[in-house]
Amino acid sequence: MLIRRASDIKPSEITPEHIYRSRRHFMRDSLAVAAGAGAGTSALALPGSWLEARDVKPGEPIGEQMTSESNATSYNNFYEFGTDKTDPAEYAHEMTVDPWTVEVSGEVEKPGRIGLEDMLAGIDLEERIYRLRCVEAWSMVIPWIGFPVKKLLDKFKPTADAKYVEFKTLHRPSEMRGQRSFFSSIDWPYLEGLRLDEANHPLAIFAVGMYGKLLPNQNGAPIRLVVPWKYGFKSIKSIVSIRLTRRQPRNTWNDLQPSEYGFYANVNPEVDHPRWSQASERRFPTTLLRPNRIPTRMFNGYDEVASLYSGMDLAEHY
Ligand code: MTE
């Protein structure tokens, strides 16, 4: 298996072009899938040899510094567990993630429900180091483990009428205290959507791991979307349903505050949020004295997606 330490990765490789070229493929057998795993055993595990070889030093300077694993797993947005940044790390362990199935429905020739193990069988997992830019103007650089969204959608054969994809998070108030809260104004479950051509773009992935390990619950275990050229709220966590549609689906933040959060949500330094500028961002690690403010880049620096939006007014379609 071709695995390099994070310190061997050149800063330029954070750009996706280079990631394509140096894509580290993990063989199918790099996932130990314990069929019929007993109680208390995770049905899904990354092998010990993989973890040892990876030897990540979180926060190691690699040009654009990788965010430390402790930052990325303790400062989170996952409103199902509360609105404070520390709530997900504190309470997300209350969510059961094994077993897990995802239902794929709508405009597909072969609708169905698929278990996580079956989903990953035959799929090569890759590591992708991506910037994550939150609409709140903080950002991180995170090494995800996952696979292109298109690989899963194609298994269900989208019909010619499929134009959009709707994603839905688990709705289980008994295990998600934010969903039980009287103060929550969100109409659960959390919903997100993409145009089908956006979902099919090679940069859009489903992540099942980060920092060489399975995804922690607070980061959206066992499977979440990662769309690096869009604001973080598009990267929906703990997905249980995928529906292909003819019409543009709803998305939670747009439902809540349509003048502030759009459907497209492409990172764009020229279109400010009504209440703050989007021209710059605080890149982790940040402190009060050293906010580490850097300029925000169009499409979060992933210029190769620009052709998806040619002819569109991105101030109108924010
Ligand atoms: N998905 C669900 N289901 N619920 C959420 O509250 N928050 C979003 C997104 N996905 C959210 C979600 C927002 S606003 C961001 S910035 C990212 O998750 C944060 O991902 P992270 O906590 O892994 O950094």
Ligand 1 centroid, distance to 47 Cα (angstroms): 27
pLDDT score, position 278:
98
DSSP string, 166-229: EEEE---TTT-HHHH-TT----SSPEEEEEHHHHTSTT-EEEEEETTEEPPGGGTTT-EEE-TT
Q: Specify the 3-state DSSP secondary structure of 254.
A: helix
- Measured CA to CA, the distance from residue 91 to residue 217 in angstroms comes to 9
pLDDT score, position 46:
52
- Measured CA to CA, the distance from residue 22 to residue 34 in angstroms comes to 30
* Strand partners of residue 130: 142
Contact 156, 108 (CB under 8 A): yes
DSSP string, 19-53: HHHT--EE-GGGSEE-TT--TTS-SEE--HHHHHH
pLDDT score, position 247:
98
pLDDT score, position 122:
87
* Strand partners of residue 108: 158
Ligand 1 centroid, distance to 109 Cα (angstroms): 31
Ligand 1 centroid, distance to 190 Cα (angstroms): 10
DSSP state of 253: H
Contact 125, 151 (CB under 8 A): no
- Of 76, 78, 133, best ligand 1 pocket probe by most atoms within 8 Å of the beta carbon: 78
Q: Specify the 3-state DSSP secondary structure of 125.
A: strand
The residue contributing the CA closest to ligand 1 atom 11 is: 78
Q: What is the mean pLDDT of each run of 10 residues along the chain (318 residues)?
A: 39 41 39 33 45 38 82 98 98 98 98 97 94 98 97 98 99 98 94 98 98 98 98 98 98 98 98 98 93 96 97 98
C-beta contacts of 19-22 below 8 A and 24+ residues apart: 19/128, 19/129, 20/202
Tokens in use for 302?
Answer: 């992933």
Question: Residue 52: which residues within 8 A CB-CB, separation 6 or more?
Answer: none
Range 3-309 has CATH code 3.20.20.70:
no
- Measured CA to CA, the distance from residue 176 to residue 102 in angstroms comes to 18
Residue 134 Cα to chain centre, angstroms: 12
Q: Which residues line ligand 1 (CB under 6 A)?
A: 76-80, 132, 134, 169, 190, 219, 232-233, 235-238
- Measured CA to CA, the distance from residue 235 to residue 225 in angstroms comes to 5
pLDDT score, position 17:
40
Q: Specify the 3-state DSSP secondary structure of 116.
A: helix
Ligand 1 centroid, distance to 71 Cα (angstroms): 14
The residue contributing the CA closest to ligand 1 atom 19 is: 77
For the chain, domain boundaries: 3-309
Ligand 1 centroid, distance to 203 Cα (angstroms): 18
Of 193, 302, 177, 206, which is closest to residue 243 (Cα–Cα)? 193
Q: How far apart are the first and last CA of the chain?
A: 42
